[in-house]
Structure 1
Amino acid sequence: MLSVLFSSLVPILLALVLGWGFGKFAAASLKQKIIRSITYLVWLLLVAIGFQFAEVLANPQIGISVLLHALLYASVLSGVTFLFLYRKTELSKANVAMRSLKDVLSPIKECVIAMLMVVFGIVLYVGFNQKFSTEHLASNLLYILIFFIGVDFSTVQLQSLTKRHFSVPIITILAMVVSAGILSLFTHYSATTLMMVGSGFGWFSLSGSLIATLTNPELGSFALLTDLMREFYAIGLLYLLGQRMPYPVIGICGATSMDSTLLFVKKSCSALEVQIAIFSGFILTLLAPFLIVLFASF
């Protein structure tokens, strides 16, 4: 478990630190070119995510029941997390930000483009599923993007830790526990089983394999799909609400706010909110494997 955690965290942190160091010494023109290229690399990553999602759905061990339960649980997790992190001050911020039709249509347009990239990835899988795999491509692309974010981050003044740095991951964990309790009332899964599945916090590459090893392939598939769908919710909401209601959406990102959804956080949120997202993602990434093992033991 520690080796999985180490091998997942170190490359991400290394890419971020190297990008930050590079940005401190690189010419301003080069940094601008790197920052402008982030959008196009994000699209490529979304295509790879769509391809991976199609690979999961093509697995014969995943039945319609598992798929529907995963969709339901991801929806409940995302909704409860959003409500727990939502504050009335977010509403006034939203009212100030939404002043023109362009303000409304711009994030919707970006969200539609993002979803189209995912659909394109699914289409690619249907046409070329026997020809290649995107697993290594997606990982390498993610590290390049995080390096680029580090370059962009080098222009930002780092701020000290605030209560928000700690409240976002803590409330995200509490929302997971409450969500598991709610869903256990309407499904045949126990609350502890659902807490085990929810403890992936969007980290589908860990949760699916670890839970399948600890329990059975069905629950592993359930966890993988739940975290995948949670990531889709996070990406869509970052485009639509990230600028106006950042903390609830960062909570939905879960552990992925320091890696795969960090790119979208950076695009939609302020410098301080990006730092909080990285901190929250780091804490949840550290806790995820331990919580999964803990709840699997019950």
Structure 2
Amino acid sequence: MLTGALLILAPLFLGFALSLKNRRLMTAIHYSVEALVYFILALLGFGLGQMEGLTSQLGTMAGQMTALVVVLFVANMTGLWLLHRWKPMSPEPRDTDSAGAGYVRLFMAALKPLIAVLAGVLSGYFLLPKLPQAEQLATWSLMLLLFLIGLQLRNAGLSLRKLLMNTQGLGIAVVLVLSSLLAGVLLIPVLGLPWHDVLALASGFGWYSLSGIVIGEALGPAWGGVAFLNDVLREIIALAIIPLVIGSRPAMAIGYGGATSMDFTLPVIRSNGGLSCVPVAIASGFLLSFLSPVFMGVFLSLG
């Protein structure tokens, strides 16, 4: 398992080590990443669709996913509330003209990952025969995705030193990690898995395309589906609560978005919290995007 974890993490670090200047190439990488994400999610759904006894396990999966979502939500929001009390942020006044302009579009876009997985499930269950190479294809696709994401992180014009010096963003990332691991500890007797596997489940930090396929390969398609739904629901919940709490408690709004704070939920953070929230969101999202595969790889390697 340790070798597999290192093989998964190696492309991320390799991509992060390379510096690119060609804008056209970076644009092509951006679209390739988007296509790979939906392809990997469809493969995840395909594996779920071909899982024996899928219909009989749906109730169990729903209970496991609900436990993850609820316990992580309470732990994360409590930790971020304490951070806000200790080191409060003061966002700019809300931009009411643009706050709701693209909100519905973003919320609907958050449903696309669910559609990709559902398409895979239906294809695997009703249409396509069992593909013996599907798991290997998913692994290689994930490794390519991590390599491209490493390139994106390195060449996004962000200095790792400056991100680490953003104490508010760093604090949010640290609190989210620690509160997620605490939630994982509390969930060990509930989920009935070894402690390291539960902590791996709690370490997705909102990166659904990564957590779903990594957990699915290590623990089976059912747990991969639970990990995916847990993290995609984090994104959807974040879109709903950011406009409600960012005015009074910015750390809670930014932090709960997890890894998505540097990309998908960033426009909602910007429009509702102002420009002062943007560097904090990028710093916390970047650090969580980097830490998620590391934590999952390390915990899964202990099995």
TM-based fold match above 0.5: yes
Q: CA offsets per residue over residues 236-269 of structure 1, 9 Å max, x none?
A: 356556795576655664xxx3xx9965367777
Q: Residue 106 of structure 1 aligns to which amino acid in structure 2?
A: G
Aligned to 2:20: 22
Alignment partners' CA distance in 1, 2:162 and 2:101: 32
The alpha carbon displacement at 1:9 in A equals: 1.9
Alignment partners' CA distance in 1, 2:29 and 2:294: 30
Say whether 1:99 aligns with 2:102: no
Instruction: Work out whether residues 15 and 151 of structure 2, in 8 Å CA contact, stay in contact via their aligned partners in 1.
Output: yes
The alpha carbon displacement at 1:51 in A equals: 0.9
Specify which structure has the bigger relative contact order, considering alpha-carbon pairs within 8 angstroms and separated by 6 or more residues: 2
Say whether 1:67 aligns with 2:65: no
Aligned to 2:274: none
Say whether 1:55 aligns with 2:46: yes
Instruction: Work out whether residues 97 and 103 of structure 1, in 8 Å CA contact, stay in contact via their aligned partners in 2.
Output: yes
The alpha carbon displacement at 1:228 in A equals: 1.0
Q: 1:75 to 1:98 in 2, by over 3 A?
A: farther
Backbone CA RMSD of aligned residues: 4.3
Match of 1:112 among 108, 114, 128: 108
**Residue correspondences, number:** 266
Instruction: Work out whether residues 67 and 222 of structure 1, in 8 Å CA contact, stay in contact via their aligned partners in 2.
Output: yes
Q: 1:91 to 1:170 in 2, by over 3 A?
A: closer
Runs of 4+ aligned residues of structure 1 deviating over 6 Å after TM superposition are 88-91, 265-269
Instruction: Work out whether residues 208 and 223 of structure 1, in 8 Å CA contact, stay in contact via their aligned partners in 2.
Output: yes
Q: CA offsets per residue over residues 133-157 of structure 1, 9 Å max, x none?
A: 5624454345335424433x23668
Instruction: Work out whether residues 254 and 261 of structure 2, in 8 Å CA contact, stay in contact via their aligned partners in 1.
Output: no
Gaps spanning 5+ residues in structure 1: where?
213-219
Helix, strand or coil for the counterpart of 2:164? coil
Aligned to 2:177: 172
Gaps spanning 5+ residues in structure 2: where?
205-210, 270-277
Say whether 1:143 aligns with 2:153: no
Q: Percent identity?
A: 10
Instruction: Work out whether residues 16 and 147 of structure 1, in 8 Å CA contact, stay in contact via their aligned partners in 2.
Output: yes
Matches within 5 A, 1:141-290: 141-151=145-155, 153-154=156-157, 158-159=161-162, 161-162=164-165, 163=167, 164-165=169-170, 168-178=173-183, 180-181=185-186, 184=189, 189=191, 193=194, 196-200=197-201, 201-202=203-204, 203-210=211-218, 212=219, 220=220, 223-237=223-237, 244=246, 245=250, 250=255, 253=258, 257=259, 264=264, 270-290=278-298
Alignment partners' CA distance in 1, 2:280 and 2:262: 13
Using the size of structure 1 for normalisation, the TM-score is 0.65
